[in-house]
Amino acid sequence: MKLLPCSAAKTTSPVTQNTVEDEMEMATVRHRPEALELLEAQSKFTKKELQILYRGFKNECPSGVVNEETFKEIYSQFFPQGDSTTYAHFLFNAFDTDHNGSVSFEDFVMGLSILLRGTVQEKLNWAFNLYDINKDGYITKEEMLDIMKAIYDMMGKCTYPVLKEDAPRQHVETFFQKMDKNKDGVVTIDEFIESCQKDENIMRSMQLFENVI
């Protein structure tokens, strides 16, 4: 949460009788989260955990929403050795479930709930949505390649052993061939989930953050 800067405008006016009015005006435009009770019912977090998350989210981002540019800035701090811009764009779209150009506290909580506490099925559904860039219900080889290239760009040139330029395409060719069971050129969510569940490495990675918050 410390790495969650917010681009909300800050008032520089002196403390006068207008300050209270300014604060009231800001209160009307700031995004307010749904009742914590509702979020508690919808997510896998306790009320106490949600209060902690909201306090951190609000402290770092008083407007209550994060736009894509801010999201990219945050993500770039985690991967200084590479270019995380493209992957952050795809990730932002996965969190921005209503596609309004911003990630609210609710969006953040629901995505985090799945990634940290969700079932394998829920996590795989979320991952499928990430790879399905145009949200048409299918993953094409081009979409998978776009995501894979973005991941390789994000990891930078510091990997060991050093990866070849065509590594993303080779990776995608192998995975796509395994996933596209009926060889129709697209991967459905059923094909995606079935293939992932048979891959021990993917299944292990799904369990890494189950108890983290």
- Segments making up each domain of the chain, as ranges: 46-117, 120-212
The span from the CA of 130 to the CA of 25, in Å, is 37
Q: Give residue 13's pLDDT.
A: 46
Q: Residue written as tokens 């189950």?
A: 210
What is d(CA 132, CA 142) in angstroms, rounded to the nearest whole number? 10
Per-residue pLDDT of the chain (213 residues; tens, 9 = 90+): 444 545 443 344 444 445 544 444 344 345 566 678 889 999 999 999 999 988 888 877 788 888 999 889 888 888 888 899 999 999 999 999 888 999 998 998 999 999 889 998 999 999 999 999 999 999 999 999 999 999 888 887 665 455 667 788 888 998 899 999 999 999 999 999 999 998 887 777 666 555 444
Residue-level pLDDT at 85: 95
CATH number of 46-117: 1.10.238.10
For residue 147, count CB atoms less than 10 angstroms from its CB and return exposed for 0-12, middle for 13-18, buried for 19 or more.
Answer: buried
Sequence-separated contacts (24+) of 99-104 with Cβ below 8 Å: 101/67, 101/68, 102/65, 102/66, 102/67, 102/68, 103/65, 103/66, 103/71, 104/31, 104/33, 104/64, 104/65
pLDDT of residue 171: 84
Residue 75's pLDDT is: 83
Q: Quick check: 2 and 61 in contact, CB under 8 A? A: no
Burial of 200: CB neighbours in 10 Å, binned 0-12, 13-18, 19+: exposed
> Residue 162 has what pLDDT?
56
Domains 46-117 and 120-212 share a fold: yes
- Return the pLDDT at 206: 64
- Provide CATH code, domain 120-212: 1.10.238.10
Beta bridge partners of 65: 104
* Pick from 46, 49, 27, 43: nearest CA to 106: 43
Q: Give me the residue label for tokens 């209270």.
A: 20
